[in-house]
């Protein structure tokens, strides 16, 4: 195995939630749900950062974050369709993962301070005042476009691997197995991940409930 259950469930949940965010961002009637789905994405970011340090082997940042030189080399190999014998993310893929995580974090955090100037104020917008909130809402808008473009790049890269290089990465993200991956995940991983997810949820939600203003 390469990807534990938390990485896989997290990934497909993120796909659904981002899809919902892009759909609901434009719809005033869905503002509340948009806010809660955004907070769920923030929980995922916190969870995934922690899992990047004390998660399973290939989920760790140390396994896939490379120096700029290695990232460029890895992109060059991808362009030449040269297979890289690494079970986890390649350095190019790892760079993509970090950018995606950072953009999702930026979306979730700016959302908390955003306002549509009509019906909805983000739960932390009262901390910054209406002028700053408008500015932050602009950042929320612009970042959403950058996120959508990055997701397109990500999906394109996956199809490049999948179709042109005949590497079954999508199946890997479903059942967890990839060539060269020999990890075994027992109940300990299930429990450790579950406890950490619970803690991340409690900290984010309780923190926001304490300092935020929810209408």
| Site residues (vs ligand HEM, CB under 6 A) | 7, 10-11, 14-15, 18, 21-22, 25-26, 34-35, 38-39, 41, 48, 59, 89, 93, 97, 100-101, 104, 107-108, 111-112, 114-116, 120, 122-123, 137, 140-141, 144, 147, 151, 154-155, 158, 169-170, 172-173
- The nearer residue to ligand HEM, 1 or 140, going by C-beta atoms, is 140
Q: Closest separation between CB of residue 45 and ligand HEM, Å?
A: 8
Q: Closest separation between CB of residue 199 and ligand HEM, Å?
A: 18
Q: Closest separation between CB of residue 24 and ligand HEM, Å?
A: 8
Q: Closest separation between CB of residue 68 and ligand HEM, Å?
A: 19
Let me know: does 147 contact 18? Beta carbons within 8 Å.
yes
- The nearer residue to ligand HEM, 97 or 200, going by C-beta atoms, is 97
- The nearer residue to ligand HEM, 119 or 195, going by C-beta atoms, is 119
- The nearer residue to ligand HEM, 72 or 98, going by C-beta atoms, is 98
């Amino acid at each position: 195995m390469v990807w534990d259950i938390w990485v896989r469930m997290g990934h497909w949940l993120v796909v659904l939630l981002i899809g919902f965010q892009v759909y609901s961002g434009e719809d005033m009637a869905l503002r509340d749900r948009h806010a809660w789905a955004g907070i769920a994405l923030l929980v995922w970011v916190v969870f995934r950062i922690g899992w990047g340090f004390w998660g399973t082997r290939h989920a760790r940042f140390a396994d896939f974050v490379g120096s700029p030189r290695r990232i460029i080399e890895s992109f060059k190999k991808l362009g030449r369709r040269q297979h890289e014998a690494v079970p986890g993310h390649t350095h190019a893929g790892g760079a993509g993962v970090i950018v995606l995580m950072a953009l999702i974090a930026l979306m979730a955090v700016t959302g908390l301070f955003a306002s549509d100037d009509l019906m909805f104020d983000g739960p932390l917008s009262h901390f910054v005042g209406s002028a700053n909130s408008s500015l932050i809402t602009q950042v929320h808008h612009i970042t959403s476009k950058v996120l959508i473009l990055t997701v397109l790049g990500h999906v394109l890269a996956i199809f490049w691997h999948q179709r042109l290089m005949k590497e079954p990465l999508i199946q890997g993200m479903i059942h967890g197995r990839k060539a060269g991956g020999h990890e075994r995940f027992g109940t300990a991983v299930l429990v450790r991940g579950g406890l950490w997810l619970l803690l991340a949820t409690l900290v984010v939600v309780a923190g926001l409930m304490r300092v935020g203003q929810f209408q």
